[in-house]
Amino acid sequence: MRDSFGRKIDYIRISLTDRCNLRCKYCMPEEGVKLLNHEDILSYEEILILAKIFISLGIKNFKLTGGEPLVRRDVCNLIKELKKLEGIGEVTITTNGVLLEDYGKDLIDSGIDRINVSLDSLNPIKYEKITGRNLLDKVLGGIKLLLEHDFEKIKINTVPMRPLDREDIENLINLGKDNPIDIRFIKVMPIGIANSELGYSKKELLQIIESILGKSSHFDGKKGNGPAEYYSFQNYRSNIGFIDAIDNKFCSECNRIRLSATGFLKLCLYYDLGENIRPYIYSLSENELREKIKDIIYNKPLMHHMNESLIQRDKKNMNQIGG
């Protein structure tokens, strides 16, 4: 479907839970947050009901997020059921990787199309400082398991924060040198407790990466459903991408909406705009629910204003929104 500005909306990010087994500094306060009760989150049956309606509207590509989606039971069974739906496109997942050693094979068997792993440093000390947990070895073990099972649709999402040195960047990009792993650098956004001033611009990062890998070439192909801008390098197997929603807005091409764990249909990452559609599953007919969802999405805002202070800015943390 298209919104009021003519943008094609074909991608939805569904948060399965607000719970997480890490405490990343830019995502969740160190003291934690008040967590949802299980009865307050969408059941898998409710997600599948909504998924059928989204697909009927042309929203056929699904990303499963959290919190950390793998801490919720039976995620792989949900993926299997999603993949059975007529008209479904890609079903992908973003995970911090801590549980990949346990569930990586099941994810592959479920038919998952791509696995994104959030990983900000390969330095054990820095990793623990960022995440609050000493679990880097488990993450790397999970990535190794995926590669051993010849799974080649892997992306690393890294949010570089100051101070970050050349060695940190070099270690991360080396993951993709000989392996089918695309590396994506995402500038931290002013969401919840995060401070965008601590992030790096694409220009800064590309200069550092070119000093390591040599001159880059812009990659014109599309990789997945996201807004990343990719570059390729000689003698480097994979691609390196950048997402900078502040200095390089992609609002005019935004194709996504978000569904929170509680059923709130969120129209823009930055704004607290949208509506909780969970009650409508029970109060409306299927056709009425479809029209209601269509009307909500139609009013997706034109663009964010992350560099401004606005009343409608969402104050929730990323674990609650589902990044």
Chain length of the chain: 323
Binding-site entries: 13, 20, 24, 26-27, 67, 94, 118, 155, 189, 251, 254, 256-258, 268
| pLDDT the model gives residue 27 | 83
Q: For 75-85, write each residue's pLDDT tens digit.
A: 999 999 999 99
* Confidence (pLDDT) at 310: 47
The HSE-up count of residue 41 (CA atoms within 13 Å, CB side) is 19
Which residues belong to the annotated binding site for GTP?
13, 94, 155, 256-258
pLDDT, residue 161, reads 82
Residue set of the binding site for [4Fe-4S] cluster: 20, 24, 27, 251, 254, 268
- The pTM of the full predicted model, rounded to 2 decimals, is 0.91
CA torsion angle 281 286 287 291 (round to 10): 30
**Helices marked H in the chain:** 44-56, 75-84, 100-110, 124-131, 136-148, 166-174, 202-213, 280-283, 286-298, 318-321
Report, as ranges of residue numbers, the positions in the chain whose pLDDT lies below 70.
189-198, 248, 304-323
- Rama region for 263: left / alpha / beta (φ>0; ψ in -120 to 50; rest): left
| Known binding residues for S-adenosyl-L-methionine | 26, 67, 118, 189
The pLDDT of residue 71 is: 98
DSSP, collapsed to helix, strand or coil, labels residue 3 as coil
CA gap 158, 96 in Å, rounded = 10
The domain spans of the chain are 11-321
What pLDDT shows up at residue 121? 94
Q: Which CATH superfamily is domain 11-321 in?
A: Aldolase class I (3.20.20.70)
What is the predicted pLDDT for the residue at 97?
Answer: 99
**134 near 128, Cβ under 8 Å?**
yes
